[in-house]
């Protein structure tokens, strides 16, 4: 029987702005089983990266619960959070911006041991760093080099090694390959998959690219303007997408065979402002399936079938 490692309930994150509250993450729910990957996908500005940071309490939530092994980390004190941070790490989108340019490769990877005051000799720490470099495929000859001397793939491997240093069980992957060339992307994705199998890691994988999400995720949650609009296993969402926004995202994936007669869905209209968002469905102004009910009544994320959820009045047969 699968066991939930992370469970997010009614999570909210609002930012105060001069024009009002910006609803970055607005009442979302999801869970991730131990050893599995949830892919969180959506266009830029939908709130997916903010979700990852709130889950780790790098940003404080405006409401809701984040249950990690059954305990709400939003209620943790400083000592409890210190222990949690060893068990939950993040790999950032830009491998250059997330590394200290004044530190060498070995110093960057060793930093978690020093910050968390792990009692070990310099020799022991050095051996652990060498082992981590070997694990992520970094040659030992690079230990004294600096981030600016390396390519994007090697920089991201440093970030992964640093994230693995304290033996976490959960890692947020925040667009970890979007800044890399396609050939390097494949290497990093394969590395993360191998590490997941070897160490039993659980991932929240954030991306705007469904073709990447497809290859790394057990389940996929589609996010639009702070809301999750569809959630299911990876195969179902590609074979039979339900929400009109998911259909549009899938139609935008480039295909190698240009002779395939696949309909491209072009979304019209503008994305509404996340500051004081409109009533009803937030996708209403761009939706090609909309009905009158969608304009005024906010659709709930309801179960369609086992393990499959969608927030759409049309899908649930609610006319109006």
Q: Where are the domains of the chain?
A: 4-316
Rg (CA), the chain: 21
Q: Phi first, then psi: what are they for 281, rounded to 5°?
A: -75, 130
Cα(217)–Cα(34) distance, integer angstroms? 13
pLDDT confidence band for 54 (50 / 70 / 90): very high
What pLDDT is recorded for position 319? Answer: 63
> CA angle, corner 244, sides to 45 and 231, nearest 5?
70
pLDDT confidence band for 67 (50 / 70 / 90): very high
* Percentage with pLDDT > 90 across the chain: 65
What pLDDT is recorded for position 267? Answer: 74
* Residue 318 and residue 310 in contact, taking contact as beta carbons nearer than 8 Å: no
Mean of per-residue pLDDT scores for the chain: 90
Sign of CA dihedral 152, 157, 159, 160: positive
Q: What is the mean pLDDT of residues 167-183?
A: 89
Q: Is the pLDDT of residue 73 over 90?
A: yes
Q: What is the mean pLDDT of residues 168-184?
A: 89
What pLDDT is recorded for position 94? Answer: 86
* Residue 66 and residue 38 in contact, taking contact as beta carbons nearer than 8 Å: no
Higher per-residue pLDDT: 210 or 150: 150
What pLDDT is recorded for position 262? Answer: 57
Cα(287)–Cα(59) distance, integer angstroms? 32
Q: What is the mean pLDDT of residues 173-188?
A: 87
Counting beta carbons within 10 angstroms of the beta carbon of residue 45, is it exposed (0 to 12), middle (13 to 18) or buried (19 or more)?
middle
Query: DSSP labels for 213-275?
Result: HHHH-SEEEEEETTEEEEEEEHHHHHHS--SHHHHHHHHTS--S-TTS-PPP----S-PPPSB
Q: Is the pLDDT of residue 218 over 90?
A: yes
What pLDDT is recorded for position 274? Answer: 87
pLDDT confidence band for 256 (50 / 70 / 90): low
**Half-sphere exposure for 287 (CA within 13 Å, toward CB):** 25
Supply the CATH classification number for the domain 4-316: 3.40.50.300
Cα(201)–Cα(168) distance, integer angstroms? 8
* Residue 142 and residue 99 in contact, taking contact as beta carbons nearer than 8 Å: no
Q: What is the mean pLDDT of residues 102-123?
A: 92
Q: What is the pLDDT of residues 153-169, one digit of tens each?
A: 999 999 999 999 999 99
What pLDDT is recorded for position 285? Answer: 86
Q: What is the pLDDT of residues 258-268, one digit of tens each?
A: 455 556 776 77
Q: Is the pLDDT of residue 309 over 80?
A: yes
Other C-beta atoms closer than 10 Å to the C-beta of 304 total 15
Comparing C-alpha atoms, which of 235, 224, 215, 109 is closest to residue 160? 109
Q: Residues near 127 by Cβ (< 8 Å), separated by ≥ 6?
A: none
pLDDT confidence band for 235 (50 / 70 / 90): confident
Counting beta carbons within 10 angstroms of the beta carbon of residue 77, is it exposed (0 to 12), middle (13 to 18) or buried (19 or more)?
exposed
Question: What pTM did the predictor assign?
Answer: 0.90
Cα-to-chain-centroid distance, residue 163? 15
Token readout for 256 is 């190698």
Q: Is the pLDDT of residue 248 over 80?
A: yes
């Amino acid at each position: 029987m699968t066991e939930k490692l992370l469970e997010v309930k009614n999570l909210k994150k609002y930012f105060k702005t001069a024009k009002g509250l910006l609803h970055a993450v607005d009442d979302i729910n999801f869970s991730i089983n131990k050893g599995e990957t949830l892919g969180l996908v959506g266009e830029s500005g939908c709130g997916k990266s903010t979700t990852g940071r709130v889950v780790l309490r790098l940003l404080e939530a405006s409401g809701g619960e984040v249950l990690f092994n059954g305990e709400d980390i939003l209620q943790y004190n400083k000592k409890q959070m210190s222990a949690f941070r060893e068990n939950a790490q993040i790999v950032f989108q830009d491998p250059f911006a997330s590394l200290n340019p004044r530190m060498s490769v070995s110093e960057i990877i060793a930093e978690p041991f020093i910050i968390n005051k792990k009692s070990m000799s310099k020799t022991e720490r050095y051996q652990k760093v060498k082992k981590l470099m070997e694990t992520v495929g970094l040659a030992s000859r690079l230990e004294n080099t600096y981030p600016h001397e390396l390519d994007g793939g090697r920089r991201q491997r440093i970030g992964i090694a640093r994230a693995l240093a304290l033996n976490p069980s959960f890692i947020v992957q925040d667009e970890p390959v979007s800044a890399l060339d396609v050939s390097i992307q494949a290497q990093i994705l394969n590395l993360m998959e191998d590490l997941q199998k070897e160490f039993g890691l659980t991932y929240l994988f954030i991306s705007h690219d469904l073709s990447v999400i497809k290859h790394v995720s057990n389940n996929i949650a589609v996010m639009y303007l702070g809301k999750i609009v569809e959630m299911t296993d990876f195969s179902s969402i590609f074979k039979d997408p339900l929400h009109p926004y998911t259909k549009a995202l899938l139609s935008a994936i480039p295909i190698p065979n240009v002779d395939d007669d696949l309909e491209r869905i072009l979304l019209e209209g503008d994305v509404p402002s996340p500051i004081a968002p409109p009533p009803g469905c937030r996708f209403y102004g761009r939706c090609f399936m909309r009905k009158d009910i969608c304009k005024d009544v906010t659709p709930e994320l309801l179960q369609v079938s086992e393990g499959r959820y969608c927030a759409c009045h049309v899908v649930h047969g609610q006319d109006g």
